[in-house]
Amino acid sequence: MKIIRYIIQKEFRQIFRNKGMLPIIFVLPLLQLIILSNAATYEVKNIQFSYIDHNQSSSSRALIEKFEASTYFQVTEQFSSMKAATTAMLKGDVDVILEIPQHFERELHRDQKTDLGITIDAIDGAAAGVTSVYIKRILFSYNKNIRSKLLQNNTDRPQLVSISSIPSFWYNETLNYKTFMVPGILVLLVTMITLFLAAMNIVREKEIGTLEQINVTPIKKYQFIIGKLFPFWVIGMGLLTIGLIIAKIIFNVPMLGSLPLMYAYTSIYILVILGMGLFISNFTDTQQQAMFIAWFFMVIFILMSGLFTPIESMPGWAQLLTEFNPIKYFVEVMRMLMLKGASFYDILPQFTKTLVYALIMNGLAVWSYKKTS
């Protein structure tokens, strides 16, 4: 323990002694958080659509078929109750819930007017607004078809059929796009800083020749690795803390979930990134090589994380590759915890996958590190 503590103290002294590094580590990422949170919106496709049909009539079925025929919606499931549907939305399985009332067809033919319940996952405010427009277009088309049929069957009542819907935007009532972007940008900054610092730190020891001196000492591999990487774990947790404060004060992003649970997940996620940085450093000889390789993987992880482009709109092979993207899981967990108030059981799939990822990456990193003279 004394050896590990000595290496950790040495690393912290080097970090804080270099005055030029402190702004790069702390100030620049936070400026990026403020600037990048105003990212542009994107086209919405493959909206996960579900419904609750209390009427079970030909009219309600015709309405569902309208959504099935749309290229924007993917009708995934029919629920028997609103409770089951909202649970699926909480987990992120569905984006829209359409609730058809019990007397839908009777009111439609008798009064030529009825109401529908529509619940939209509005964490991404821009996407929710576009989704609402799509729904209104489909309902307008359905209104025209029903109106034509009723006018043919009943010439004595030429009134216009009217179906009104009142959307309910969950998790982001104001449809503020920054509410959707800030958690994702915070994930990016924590990931980039910890990965680059971890990848370049051990390579730096190779460049200046001190790594060979360390390798001939009695220091064990795990002691050297823990001592080298632990300071960057602390920096990553510190960046998360400062970022959360900025997200609340400047952007007023809600934080509905458990902060201890958020920090518990982040602590495991940072281990994944540190293991990845160590793995990269083991196969590079200069800081420049480490930077290029780390940036290569970072660009892929960012673009395939679902932060800027929806994963549902990607090709099938790309969606499969995202299952190996740790940033994807961190983005999902941060949004679920901050905006949905998810519990541990809601994020258990992401938590388990990240834990397995951390064990594999750090195992490979330690195995590939050769303590030779």
Tell me: do 226 and 181 sit in the same domain: yes
pLDDT digits (tens, 9 = 90+) for 108-133: 777 667 788 899 998 877 788 888 88
| Residue 373 belongs to some domain of the structure | no
pLDDT digits (tens, 9 = 90+) for 50-84: 999 988 888 888 889 889 888 889 888 889 889 89
Tell me, what's the pLDDT at 351?
94
CA distance 57 to 36: 48
Q: Which domain-ending residue is among 118, 144, 170? A: 170
Q: Average pLDDT of 37-43?
A: 53
CA distance 344 to 61: 37
Tell me: do 109 and 185 sit in the same domain: no
| Residue 42 belongs to some domain of the structure | no
Tell me: do 143 and 192 sit in the same domain: no
* Greatest Cα pair distance in the chain: 99
- 148: which 2 tokens? 């034509």
Q: Which domain-ending residue is among 170, 204, 232? A: 170
Instruction: Give me the DSSP letters along 75-110.
Output: EEEE-SSHHHHHHHHHHTS-SEEEEE-TTHHHHHHH
26-40, 152-166, 300-314: range with lowest mean pLDDT? 152-166
CA distance 131 to 109: 28
The count of C-alpha atoms lying within 13 angstroms of the C-alpha of 371, restricted to the half-sphere facing its C-beta, is 14
Maximum mean pLDDT: which of 41-55, 67-81, 159-173: 67-81
| Residue 137 belongs to some domain of the structure | yes
Q: Which domain-ending residue is among 148, 170, 192? A: 170
| Residue 101 belongs to some domain of the structure | yes
Tell me, what's the pLDDT at 339?
87
Rounded to 5 degrees, φ, ψ at 283 are -115, 15
> 166, exposed or middle or buried, with CB in 10 Å at 0-12, 13-18, 19+?
exposed
Q: Which residue has the higher pLDDT, 137 or 30?
A: 137
pLDDT digits (tens, 9 = 90+) for 248-302: 888 888 888 899 999 999 999 999 999 998 888 888 888 888 888 888 888 888 8
| Residue 41 belongs to some domain of the structure | no
Tell me: do 23 and 58 sit in the same domain: no
Range of the domain at 300: 2-36+176-368
Tell me: do 280 and 361 sit in the same domain: yes
Tell me: do 348 and 259 sit in the same domain: yes
pLDDT digits (tens, 9 = 90+) for 177-202: 777 788 888 888 889 888 888 888 77
Q: Tokens 């989704």 appear where?
A: 131
Buried b (16+ CB within 10 A) or exposed e, 126-146: bbbbbbbebbeebbeebeeeb
Q: What is the pTM of this model?
A: 0.71
Tell me: do 209 and 258 sit in the same domain: yes
Buried b (16+ CB within 10 A) or exposed e, 234-273: ebbeebbebbbebbeeebebeeebeeebbeebbeebbbbb
Tell me: do 132 and 214 sit in the same domain: no
Tell me: do 116 and 258 sit in the same domain: no
Q: Is the pLDDT of residue 243 over 90?
A: no
Tell me: do 149 and 195 sit in the same domain: no
CA distance 89 to 50: 10
CA distance 11 to 35: 31
| Residue 208 belongs to some domain of the structure | yes
Tell me: do 31 and 87 sit in the same domain: no
The domain tally of the chain equals: 2
- CATH of residue 54: 3.40.1710.10
**Amino acid present at 355:** L
Instruction: Provide the pairing of β-strand 113-121 with 96-100.
Output: antiparallel
Average per-residue pLDDT for the chain = 81
Tell me: do 199 and 286 sit in the same domain: yes
